[in-house]
Structure formats: structure tokens, C-alpha cells
Amino acid sequence: MKPDDETLESREINELRETVKQLQHIKEKLQRSEERYRFLTEHSVDAIWRLDDQLRFVYVSSAAKNLLGYQPEEIVGRHLFEILVQESIDTVSQGYASRKALQEAGQRWGSSTYTVEVIHKEGHPIWMEVTVNPIFGTGNQLIGYNGITRDISVRRRDEEVIHQYAFRDPLTNLPNRRSFEEELGRVIDQHKDFNKSFAVMFLDVDGLKKVNDAYGHSIGDALLQVVADRVCHVMRKQDFIARLAGDEFVAILPGIGDNSAIDLLATRLVESFYQTILIGAHKVRIGVSIGISFFPEDADSVNTLISYADQAMYEAKKNGGSKYVCYG
């Protein structure tokens, strides 16, 4: 062998050794990366999963046990919709359908986030936030989804508490002024569209101040709870009842558009407070004064309908109370 050939062969061997070393280094890096990924996946408090293109689970991390009560192998092979409540199935189906056109056109799309209720192994639903990433193969063909599921039950409870304070009266648990005004605005728009009438009722308790002065505000508050219960009992299921403030209650009465239609309901409500009310060891007597305005005969705006019903209520009070008066 010539010296030049020996040099060439030696160089090729060295290059081959270097290539092997590089490949070994790459393999080690991939192994370390895979180990880190497996560690993060298996120790994450969030469930990490993969679906095939038919929405069946092909992988679920061990966090599923803590979140849903299932061992991963109990979920693998099942369809996603088997563990969702119907409303959440509808939500996901809508998102899936909206991307169908992109899929058929061979286009890609990005991640999506859903708030869904997932059914725990014990049968109760749990609020979850799900982030889904599509997986594409050659030719932009959809081959599945990767996703992360996080328990947001505490956050949902906090949101419900905030909503409760924002839209409900804490004493009676009735809708508050804000909720009433929003609902009244919605009802006005709805009745304009269908050219229908409805009534707004404004109710004030006669004699609450005397009860507060005689027995204290705790008894007065208990009395307001009784008033709220009695109003709800007398009114119809379709009526929207709220507490504005103090001893003032309001209601929206769909389908009632004139004095004759309101007479029976308003009279029954006034008469329901004729009897003595027992609060603890105290017997109290109160009445209610009611004012009524009509849409669209009297007004067609939120503030004006409430104002006119309020004015009619004061007319009832001026005339001795425990009666109703229609505006106009």
C-alpha cells in the first residue's frame, strides 16, 4: 500500500470514528431529552394525553389518576366523548366541525383551549381547562392531537361566588338591581321583536320600619326573607323577581299588558300579606304597596318603566297602602 493510500485510509477511519462519536453524543442527548420529557409528563399535576384522528386516547399520563380517578390504561382506547358531559360534547363538536373545512382543504390550524366538564370515575363532573394541539403528518394530514388538561374547579367556584355577589342579593338570594336591569333590557328587546306587551311591578313593604324599630334589624332582615319567599310563591314561574334595595322588590311579568290582566295577580299578592307573620317569637303585621307600568303602553326603556312603576307604588302608599295602582 502506498503511503498516500495509507494516509487516506487513516483519515477516513478517523472521520468515521468522529461520526460515530457525534452520533453517540446525539443519541445521549435524545435519551436525556426523552427522560426529561417523561419525568415532566409523569410528574405533572396536569394530565397530558394524545388522541388519534378519531378522538380516541392513545396515551394518558399518570396524573389522570389524581384528576379523574382512572388509571391511564382505563382511558387509553376510549373515545374522548365517553368522559365528557353532553354540553361539553356539543362544545367540542362545534370546534371540531369548524376546522373540518380546513382539514379537507389540507390546511393546518393552531392550538385551541376549551372549558369542559369531565366525568370523574365516581360519576361526578369536574370543570377542566383543556388545551389541544393538532398533530399533522405529510401533506398536512391530521393524524391526532396532543393535549393538556388542568383542573379548574376551584377557579370556577371562585367565579361563581363573584357572580353571586355581582348579580344576587345576599339576604334573599334573589337577583339584585344589576341583574334585574339587564334582564329587563333583554325582555324589552325581545318584546319589541315580537310586538308583545308585558308589565313591570314595583313592590314596597308597608311597616318594615316599625318592625326594625321595635325588634331590631335582625328581625327586619328575617322579615324581608319571608317577604321574598311569599312573593315568589304567589308570582308565576315565568315572572322574574328581584330585590332592588331595602324593602323594595320588582318583577317582570311577561304576557301581561293591561289593567284587567294584572288585577288577579296583584290582588292575590296584596292579600297574601293580610295575615300575621311569625318571626321567631314575634308576631308582626305588614302590608305591601304595589305600582305597575306596562310596556310599550307607558314606556319602552328600562329606567322609565322602573320609574313609572315606582311612581305608581307611591300613589298606592299615599292612598293608605296595601293596594296596587297602575301608572297613568
Beta bridge partners of 84: 118
Rounded to whole angstroms, the Cα distance separating 231 from 270 reads 10
| In-domain check, residue 164 | no
Strand order in the sheet with 112-119: 57-60, 47-52, 142-151, 125-136, 112-119
Query: Of 156, 184, 214, which marks where a domain is finished?
Result: 156
Q: Classify burial at 238, counting beta carbons within 10 Å of its beta carbon; exposed 0-12, middle 13-18, buried 19 or more.
A: exposed
Distance in angstroms (rounded) separating the CA atoms of residues 299 and 305: 6
Phi, psi of 267 (to 5 degrees): -65, -45
Among candidate residues 156, 186, 209, the one where a domain is terminated? 156
Q: How far apart are CA 44 and CA 271, in angstroms?
A: 63
Q: Is residue 16 assigned to a domain?
A: no
Whether residue 35 lies inside any domain: the answer is no
What is the residue-level pLDDT of the chain in tens, covering all 328 positions? 555 555 656 666 666 666 666 666 656 565 555 555 454 445 566 888 999 999 999 999 888 888 999 999 999 999 999 999 999 999 999 888 888 778 777 788 888 999 999 999 999 999 999 999 999 988 888 899 999 999 999 999 888 888 888 899 999 999 999 999 999 999 999 998 888 999 999 999 999 999 999 999 999 999 999 999 999 999 999 999 999 999 999 999 998 877 888 999 999 999 999 999 999 899 999 999 999 999 999 999 999 999 999 999 999 999 999 999 999 8
DSSP labels, 62-82: THHHHHHS--HHHHTTSBGGG
At 84, list the grid cell.
365528557
Q: CA-CA distance, 310 to 250, in Å (whole number)?
A: 9
Q: What is the CATH number of the domain that holds 187?
A: 3.30.70.270
Co-location of 59 and 101 in the same domain = yes
The CA R_g of the chain, rounded to the nearest whole Å, is 34
Structural domain containing residue 124: 41-156
In this structure, what CATH number is given to the domain that contains residue 92? 3.30.450.20
Q: Provide the domain count of the chain.
A: 2
Comparing C-alpha atoms, which of 242, 204, 208, 212 is closest to residue 318? Answer: 204
Residue 57 forms part of a structural domain: yes
pLDDT at 328: 84
Task: Decide: 201 and 180 in contact? Cβ < 8 Å.
Answer: no
What local confidence, expressed as pLDDT, does residue 159 receive? 87
* Residues 6+ away with beta carbon under 8 Å from 25: none
145 and 180 assigned to the same domain: no
| Shared domain check, 181 and 152 | no
Q: Is 31 exposed, middle or buried (0-12, 13-18, 19+ CB in 10 A)?
A: exposed
Residues 193 and 318 in one domain: yes
E-only strand ranges, 18-141: 47-52, 57-60, 112-119, 125-136
For the stretch 163-170, contacts whose Cβ atoms lie closer than 8 Å and that sit 24 or more positions apart, written own/partner, are 169/242, 169/243
Same domain, 112 and 252: no
pTM, to two decimals: 0.63
Q: Which pLDDT value is given to residue 44?
A: 63
Same domain, 286 and 181: yes
| 184 and 313 belong to one structural domain | yes
